[in-house]
Amino acid sequence: MASAFTLSDLPRTEAEALAYGRHGDPFKVLGPRDTSTGRVIRAFLPGANGVEVLRRSDRQTIGKLDPAQPDGFFEGIVGDRAAYLLRIRWPGAVQETEDPYSFGPVLGDLDLHLFNEGRHFGMAKVLGANAMTVQGVPGVAFAVWAPNAARVAVVGDFNSWDSRRHPMRLRYPAGVWELFIPRVSPGARYKFDIVGAGGVPVPQKADPLAKQTEPPPATASVVASPQPFDWHDGEWMAKRAGRQRPDAPIAIYEVHAGSWMRACHTWDDMADRLVPYAVDMGFSHLELLPVTEHPFGGSWGYQPLSLFAPTARFGSPEGFARFVDRAHAAGLGIILDWVPAHFPTDAHGLARFDGTALYEHLDPREGFHRDWNTFIYNFGRREVQGFLIASALHWLEHFHVDGLRVDAVASMLYRDYSRAAGDWIPNIYGGREHLEAIDFLRHLNAVVQERHAGAVVIAEESTAWPGVTQPVSELGLGFSYKWNMGWMHDTLHYMARDPIYRSYHHDGLTFGLIYAFSERFILPLSHDEVVYGKGSLLGRMPGDRWQKFANLRAYFGFMWGHPGKKLLFMGGEIAQEREWNHDGEIDWFLLDDVSHAGTQRLVRDLNGLYRREPALHRRDASGEGFRWVIGDDRSNSVFAFLRLGGEGDPPILVVCNMTPAPRHHYRIGVPRPGYWREIANTDSRFYGGSDIGNDGGAATTGDAAHGEPQSLDLTLPPLATIMLRAEG
């Protein structure tokens, strides 16, 4: 029972503000203060039965704090000014801990300055929850940006989620609140309890800088372990830049971790199964749909709320690091989809974080995506730019990922993206370009290039915006690669047509070569092509069952022969029949069927060919690596082109017959006399085809054709792509 003792020099209004969780300056009220009568210590510990003060060095009692009003306050004079502990008698337990309000600020002025300038690229090391030792005392330093809040407190397992227990210190004018809480350990769950301007309460918020979270649907942040991961990928990191250059063979396997194989429940499971599978299939990289923590699994990760934390669905951050390390050991790069364009409106997230539009624009014409029911980041705010860039660097530095694919870049570049007239705000020049987002993207790519040369940043950009992969120094956006969405749309539409009509749509396969070298492109057959009622790749092919498989094999052959890096979404390699279901898994049982197994074998062989043959990858981004031989045979729907590597690399002839009729004695001019070995035939019986071909190759004759003095007399299999390499 508390006595009627009243706190000696504290106005009752301030005491009540603290007691009711409204006080914005707890260090003014709590902790030690030296007076003419000695050192006075004041603590607010609602529910405690009594408090003693111990000298930290020898744990000798140096004072007692008497209970006061309002309930929960304790105050008393101690015998010396040594560092101290509080011995707190709770109902049923005694706790000894240092007083959080006896510690000074943790964040330095330079940290705060760089944060406000949007240039604190190590933000994750100072904001959020960071386990550390201060004055020899282990604990956790919490820090959060909430400049318009009237009061911020940390709540969690360590204080019974009582918002009165740990109000934080405001670092003015940075707008950052911080508090070091002794004896809190990694693994503790926490959130921030915020009172907005005018005393308006805000829903408790997860930490924007959380480096670990509890598994959804729970929404708390988790204090991550400070122990550095023991990496073993030094050799990989040293050689990574060469593996990701424009002249390297990059073939990406795009994966949704939760539905690749249901037996994979953790990152370690995926390291055991997914990594060796991708390596065996000949892919150079895995690209993961966003693994940043997201509240709704059905968003596939594209509506994330914790841009610094791997989703807890598959284990701890250390588990994800092990996965990356093992992928590197197997010779496999890791690319993450990363979403800086928008974020969901969940109450525990970034939305109206301190009671105001902090991370987003207030005006919905700038700050809200109606298509996705999400908020748009305020790219013009320096702190927001810095937050996003720090997130990107966190994945590259802390988790050694090899690249980021930036989602929805088109939605960032245009202020009128998916908006009707009058529903958007022009830029300062009256145009539709989103100048602040453009500045952010350039800033992002410049910083990544400066700090992580060899890492790649890839744009999912679906418009004709010029210079996406041009250097920032040349006024480009500075991306390493761009998804070629136009190629994907045109070629899939062509392949979906009945062969009898393809002659009228010949440009569907040829048009992409008009601009194929305007950017450094990746050819994507991504998850977007097997959702929302589009069916599977196989399901979009015309004809009977045999023709469907033949069409898909021919299309893959065309794709792997075409300039540009390759990307294939999981399931495509086995000719998945059903549309992708994120709650299921790939239909692995299909591999019992010869046609599905044959398609898988084809993709494996195409990847191997792409990697071994310099002509197929060395000049992927250069017009010097491609030459049409036949691009105008509309009546037969035949296409033929040369892929050319560097000096001394044998050229490769790629020929596609996109009709079910075989073409015998089809003459094609070639630049080099001699024997041309058939190194790929998608109609091979090994892939489930009819096994029509050229008996291993063909020798040139002296018949001139297509501007060349010699030519090949070839048999073109039905609905097939063949490749021939010049020998000698």
Whether residue 728 has pLDDT greater than 80: no
Alpha helix segments (H runs only) across 300-381:
317-329, 364-367
Per the CB < 8 A criterion, the answer to whether 128 and 211 are in contact is: yes
The 10s digit of each residue's pLDDT in 596-628 is 999 999 999 999 999 999 999 999 999 999 999
Give me the pLDDT at residue 302, please: 97
Whether residue 219 has pLDDT greater than 50: yes
Q: What pTM did the predictor assign?
A: 0.95
Query: Are 12-102 and 623-726 equal in CATH topology?
Result: yes
Higher pLDDT, residue 69 or 193: 193
69 confidence band (pLDDT: 50, 70, 90): confident
Q: CATH fold of 103-235+248-483, please? A: TIM Barrel (3.20.20)
R_g of the chain, CA atoms, integer Å: 31
Output the CA torsion 357→360→364→370 (10° steps): -130
The whole-number average pLDDT for the span 165-170 is 97
The whole-number average pLDDT for the span 295-319 is 96
Output the CA torsion 344→345→347→352 (10° steps): 110
Q: Which two tokens stand for residue 671?
A: 């630049």
Whether residue 2 has pLDDT greater than 80: no
The 10s digit of each residue's pLDDT in 313-328 is 999 999 999 999 999 9
Give me the pLDDT at residue 6, please: 46
The whole-number average pLDDT for the span 581-602 is 97
- Please confirm whether the linkage preceding 718 is cis (ω < 30° from 0): no
Q: Is the dihedral of CA 137, 143, 147, 150 positive or negative?
A: negative
Whether residue 423 has pLDDT greater than 60: yes
DSSP 635: T
The 10s digit of each residue's pLDDT in 184-201 is 999 999 999 999 998 999
The top-level CATH class assigned to 623-726 is mainly beta
Whether residue 5 has pLDDT greater than 80: no
The whole-number average pLDDT for the span 376-404 is 98
Whether residue 688 has pLDDT greater than 50: yes
Residue 162's nearest CA partner among 133, 132, 204 is 204
Give me the pLDDT at residue 543, please: 97
Alpha-carbon distance values, 277 to 280, 285, 325 (Å): 5, 12, 16
Whether residue 659 has pLDDT greater than 90: yes
Of the options 2.60.40.640, 3.20.20.70, 2.60.40.10, 2.40.160.10, the CATH number for the domain spanning 12-102? 2.60.40.10
Query: In the chain, where are the structural domains located?
Result: 12-102, 103-235+248-483, 623-726
The whole-number average pLDDT for the span 410-414 is 97
The whole-number average pLDDT for the span 581-606 is 97
Range scoring the smallest mean pLDDT among 13-17, 83-87, 189-193, 694-698: 13-17
Indicate the residue type of 146: A
The pairing of beta strand 638-643 with beta strand 652-657: antiparallel
Tell me the catalytic residues: 407, 460
7 confidence band (pLDDT: 50, 70, 90): low
Whether residue 4 has pLDDT greater than 60: no
Whether residue 95 has pLDDT greater than 80: yes
Strand order across the 169-171 sheet: 128-134, 137-145, 176-182, 169-171
Per the CB < 8 A criterion, the answer to whether 131 and 186 are in contact is: yes
12 confidence band (pLDDT: 50, 70, 90): confident
Give me the pLDDT at residue 8, please: 63
Which region, left, alpha or beta, applies to residue 341 given φ > 0 means left and ψ of -120 to 50 means alpha? Answer: alpha
